[in-house]
Amino acid sequence: MAGKPIAGTGSAGGADRDAQDAAPAAAAERYGPLELRRMRKEDGRMLIVYEHREQTSSE
Q: Which residues bind other proteins (CB under 8 A)?
A: 1, 3-6, 9-12, 14-16, 18-22, 31-34, 36, 41, 45-52
CB environment 7-18: b (16+ within 10 A), e (fewer): eeeeeeeeeeee
**11 vs 26, which CB is nearer to other proteins?**
11
CB of 5 to other proteins, least distance (A): 5
Q: Is 3 left (phi over 0), alpha (psi -120 to 50) or beta?
A: beta
CB of 38 to other proteins, least distance (A): 10
